[in-house]
């Protein structure tokens, strides 16, 4: 939802907009910011430093060694930047079968839950024993130039519906979640076209809701072929909404700024239809974008105006390099914050606002604090305590990627917080492009995991000393 989209979907009132670098504060939505006072049931500060290697006590020796080895490889920029080419070359040399056999015990096992439902179940049971919850992710997405035919999108829909079924039927979490990329069901080219149209064309949310209800509406600005494809795409999304409501919370991923307005438009329409009583459809807000604060506030106002519950997945963002290059190439302003500090301020400011809302209306607002940033996690934990928000009450949860940031995830889970891990699954062939893309998008995170490596080493040394002591 960009400044363009704001003008198009909020049609019962003039949306609130802040231009330039003016800071958004909590007072703008009618409540005071969090004030420090005596905390009730605080988490011990030492634990919030995330320096205790005993967070890994539930991991096996092999899991510790594997993680240490994989993270060591990920610390080399040349490997991360060229991992796609290296893996393609290795697969060509070894052959598909041998390549899969080599990759499965190491990189694949570190970041992927498995291929079959039985393999996934084993991974989920392990997570449950650690107090973690799965957020299943079908590793399917498309970018410009990768569009498939309707048959492929229908196949993707079947995979998504199976994901809904697995998330709900296996009781892996009391509040199941899954991730969804709209570009797995609607062509990226159409999303870009819609984003362009939104600059000049009013698209009413009710029009999209009617289309979700299978009414044969006509969308202004689209050709007959494009209109037909959009209706088919909305029908696929509607099937996911109908299958998941009252069962599984569907977190819609944000993607690139050249298609995000269209993605948010569709997501808000799904929210209007399915989020009447609880937040089953969530939207993602990328806080590395300069407009992220405005987008969060506009979403809040829209949810009030349209009477739906709001689910927020709050991330920093993973497409920084490409966004910057595109902006430079097209001669437009860089949409990304100028510094890491600005991004942190944006993230923490949005987090504060949503937590305040949750403290007042926990049934209407939900958030997943999806970050590997320890300072933001500390702020979230402290603010939750100050506001009296339950650690495992269902309105606030934390999220990290499977196989990464376990020192934070496990520490939070051990303290009774609700923690989800983003869990891709599928064959080596199906997940490889996904893993390569995630590695390149998260190269900054991958290259900054020295602390987790050090903690893994400390835990290995601790166990070794314990073994030696026992032997004596």
Q: Where are the domains of the chain?
A: 114-425
Residue 449 pLDDT: 82
Please, are residues 330 and 386 in contact by the beta-carbon 8 Å criterion? no
Map residue 178 onto helix, strand or coil.
strand
Please, are residues 126 and 205 in contact by the beta-carbon 8 Å criterion? no
Q: For the CA atoms of 116, 119, 121, 124, what is the dihedral angle to 10 degrees?
A: -120
Instruction: Please state, in angstroms and as integers, the Cα–Cα distance from residue 32 to each residue in 72, 107, 302, 356, following that order.
Output: 45, 46, 20, 8
Residue 443 pLDDT: 65
pTM exceeds 0.85 for this model: yes
Residue 73 pLDDT: 85
Q: Is 40 exposed, middle or buried (0-12, 13-18, 19+ CB in 10 A)?
A: exposed
Instruction: Please state, in angstroms and as integers, the Cα–Cα distance from residue 190 to each residue in 142, 149, 199, 208, 262, following that order.
Output: 12, 13, 15, 15, 9
What do you get for the CA distance between the two ends of the chain, in Å?
Answer: 64
Map residue 289 onto helix, strand or coil.
strand
Residue 16 pLDDT: 32
The dotted CATH code for 114-425 is 3.20.20.220
pLDDT digits 0-9 by tens, 174-207: 899 999 999 999 999 999 999 999 988 888 899 9
* CA distance linking residue 358 with residue 395, whole number of Å: 7
Residue 472 pLDDT: 72
* CA distance linking residue 216 with residue 214, whole number of Å: 6
Residue ranges in the chain modelled with pLDDT below 50: 1, 3-7, 9-26, 35-39
Map residue 64 onto helix, strand or coil.
helix
Closest CA to 9 of 269, 242, 245, 263: 269
DSSP 8-class letter at 13: S
* CA distance linking residue 303 with residue 342, whole number of Å: 27
* CA distance linking residue 44 with residue 42, whole number of Å: 6
Q: For the CA atoms of 227, 248, 252, 427, what is the dihedral angle to 10 degrees?
A: -90
Residue 36 pLDDT: 43
Map residue 171 onto helix, strand or coil.
coil
pLDDT digits 0-9 by tens, 272-319: 999 999 999 999 999 999 999 999 999 999 999 999 999 999 999 988
Q: Is 18 exposed, middle or buried (0-12, 13-18, 19+ CB in 10 A)?
A: middle
């Amino acid at each position: 939802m960009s400044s363009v989209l704001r003008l198009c979907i909020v049609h019962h009132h003039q949306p609130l907009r802040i231009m330039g670098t003016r800071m958004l504060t909590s007072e703008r939505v009618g409540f005071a910011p969090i004030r420090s006072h005596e905390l009730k049931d605080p988490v011990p500060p030492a634990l919030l430093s995330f320096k205790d290697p005993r967070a890994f006590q539930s991991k096996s020796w092999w899991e510790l060694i594997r993680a240490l080895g994989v993270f060591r490889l990920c610390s080399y920029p040349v490997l991360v930047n060229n991992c796609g080419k290296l893996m393609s070359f290795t697969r060509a040399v070894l052959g598909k079968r041998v390549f899969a056999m080599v990759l499965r015990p190491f990189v694949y096992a570190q970041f992927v839950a498995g291929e079959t439902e039985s393999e996934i179940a084993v991974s989920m049971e392990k997570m449950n024993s650690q107090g973690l919850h799965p957020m299943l992710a079908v590793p399917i997405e498309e970018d410009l130039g990768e569009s498939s035919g309707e048959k492929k999108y229908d196949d993707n829909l079947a995979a998504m519906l199976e994901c809904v079924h697995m998330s709900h039927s296996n009781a892996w979490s009391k509040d199941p979640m899954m991730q969804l990329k709209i570009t797995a069901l609607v062509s990226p080219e159409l999303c870009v076209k819609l984003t362009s149209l939104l600059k000049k064309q009013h698209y009413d949310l009710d029009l999209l809701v009617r289309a979700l209800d299978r009414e044969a509406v006509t969308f202004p600005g689209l050709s007959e072929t494009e209109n037909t494809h959009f209706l088919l795409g909305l029908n696929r999304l509607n099937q996911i909404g109908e299958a998941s409501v009252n069962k599984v919370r569907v977190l819609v991923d944000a993607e690139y700024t050249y298609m995000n307005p269209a993605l948010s438009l569709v997501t808000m329409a799904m929210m209007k239809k399915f989020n009447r009583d609880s937040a089953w459809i969530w939207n993602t807000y990328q806080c590395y974008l300069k407009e992220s604060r405005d987008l969060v506030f506009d979403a809040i106002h829209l949810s009030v105006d349209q009477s739906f519950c709001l689910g927020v997945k709050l991330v920093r963002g993973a497409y920084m390099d490409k966004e910057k290059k595109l902006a430079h190439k097209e001669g437009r302003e860089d949409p990304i914050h100028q510094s890491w500090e600005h991004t942190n301020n944006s993230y923490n400011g949005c987090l504060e606002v949503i937590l305040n809302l949750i403290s007042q209306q926990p049934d209407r607002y939900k958030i997943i604090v999806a970050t590997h940033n320890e300072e933001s996690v500390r702020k979230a934990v402290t603010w939750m305590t100050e506001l009296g928000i339950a650690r495992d009450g269902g309105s606030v949860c934390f999220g990290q990627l499977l196989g990464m940031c376990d020192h934070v995830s496990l520490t939070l889970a051990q303290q009774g917080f609700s923690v989800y891990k983003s869990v891709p699954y599928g064959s080596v062939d199906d997940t490889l492009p996904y893993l390569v893309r995630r590695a390149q998008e998260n190269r900054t995170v991958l290259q900054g995991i020295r602390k987790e490596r050090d903690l893994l080493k400390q835990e290995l040394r601790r166990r070794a000393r314990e073994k030696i002591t026992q032997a004596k």
